[in-house]
Chains A and B, each alone.
Chain A
């Protein structure tokens, strides 16, 4: 990753910066914008309130800073988000405002990131002009743990994160920060956790490992994050954590699947699962060993939104098993795993009837 990338295939990367109320989103944004690498960044700030203040705190008022202050981005102002982004892009193209090569959207402290991500992906104009880059979430070292315990909004934000920036670390002990860090990794093992003061713009915002545009460049990028998901446990490679939040149970676990997955059956299974249970599946990420392919396929979903699958250039290590990380609320890991196997086997049975399945044919040949 060479600095903060720009204009991927003509599309401008968009970062979502979110985090619970008072967790330091605006402070982080102000510091990031001081970085020369982010000189050409447009900013959209969403505040829930009659009078917006955050844009003043940024200390950078120009035409590329837009305030959306008539409601929350995840419900009432999604239309405004579309209009603001299209307007920015149009004015940039006409040369009315300075060129920009990245957009950062700062959400309200209570926003669920999913609707904004969904809007960016689903809107026919936005999808062709903007690409979704990393979701950055700030977590307050002092109050973060309590917020994650009490507020499902905070858990949803954390689950959607690609990068978690821990803020206010100077206000508590090193041990408390380490404990919080372990907790964050337990809830969202696929995110990279950094201390805010160590965060550099390039690593914080740019180069999502799930970006198709980077599939060729980042052969060693591990979309499951740097927190060791390849646990070889005696129970068949499962690893899970539980976390109680607001009376509900948020669980993260990883599934390891031996053998190859049938892409078509997997697609039918995951779309059906997300259709029925998407509001309780905060995150799904995975590297798949797909039948008929030498290279792995990375998938990445937030609630019901699944990004275009990335065909990675190479496997990150020697392990060729498919791995899926789920962050769910109140769903049973064993049932999800069984369901996946049932659908994968269905494909095998159906297609072997007509001799369409090359992996089955290969097995029969081997016998």
Chain B
């Protein structure tokens, strides 16, 4: 727990698991954790911006998702990212939808 802000525990989502023997994670030290978090934000934002959403990270443990009209959602676990994002848009994020995949293919190409 952070003694100053009282944030309890840490996110143990499988994509960013708490470091322990045998578990694959990039959460091993401060530098690799920050590097991976920056990379994750970059890829996630590229996907989210197809629906005009923007994701930011606060203090390494909280995520702030915003839309173009100022709507904001705050969550602590990466497990909540897609449910929260889907709740903010009407068309959703379906990685098996041909139209959505087409948009992803057009990013940075």
Contact = CB atoms under 8 A, between A and B. Distances in A.
Interface of A: 9, 124, 127, 211-216, 263-265, 267-269, 271-273, 275-277, 290, 293, 297, 299, 306-311, 331-332, 335-336, 338-339, 342-343, 345-347, 349-351, 353, 356
A275 B77 CA distance: 14
A350 B46 contact: yes
Contacts of A347: 43
A143 B101 CA distance: 43
A216 B20 CA distance: 13
7 contacts: A9-B20, A214-B22, A264-B40, A267-B40, A277-B96, A308-B14, A331-B96
Contacts of A309: 14, 17, 23-25
Interface of B: 9, 12-17, 20-26, 36, 39-40, 42-44, 46-47, 78-79, 81-83, 86, 92-96, 98, 101, 104-105, 107-109
B50 to A, nearest CB: 11
What's the dominant secondary structure at chain A's contact region?
helix
A216 B21 CA distance: 9
A124 B42 CA distance: 30
B95 A339 contact: yes
Contacts of B26: 263
Given A311-B22, A342-B105, 6 more contacts: A9-B21, A213-B21, A271-B13, A277-B94, A339-B96, A351-B42
A346 B42 CA distance: 11
A141 B75 CA distance: 48
A263 B35 CA distance: 13
A268 B101 contact: no
A310 B47 CA distance: 27
A295 to B, nearest CB: 9
A259 to B, nearest CB: 18
Nearest to B105: A342
Residue with the greatest number of chain A CB neighbours at <10 A, chosen from B14, B26, B98: B14
Nearest to A356: B39
B73 to A, nearest CB: 15
Nearest to A295: B24
Contact of B15 (A212, A271, A293): A271
A212 B96 contact: no
Contacts of A343: 95, 104
B101 A212 contact: no
A339 B82 contact: no
Contact of B20 (A212, A267, A297): A212
Q: Which of A264, A299, A336: most chain B CB closer than 10 A? A: A264
A276 B109 CA distance: 26
A367 to B, nearest CB: 19
Contacts of B17: 308-309
Contact of A268 (B47, B94, B105, B108): B47
Given A346-B104, A350-B108, A216 B22 contact: yes
A297 B14 CA distance: 12
A351 to B, nearest CB: 7
A275 B86 CA distance: 9
A276 B104 contact: no
Contacts of A268: 15, 40, 43-44, 47
A148 B41 CA distance: 43
B23 A310 contact: yes
Contacts of B109: 349
Contact of B43 (A264, A299, A308, A338): A264
A342 B82 contact: no
Given A309-B23, A311-B22, A346-B108, A273 B96 contact: yes
Nearest to A265: B43
A306 B17 CA distance: 11
B94 to A, nearest CB: 5
Nearest to A271: B82
A313 B19 CA distance: 16
Contacts of A293: 24
Contact of B94 (A265, A276, A349): A276
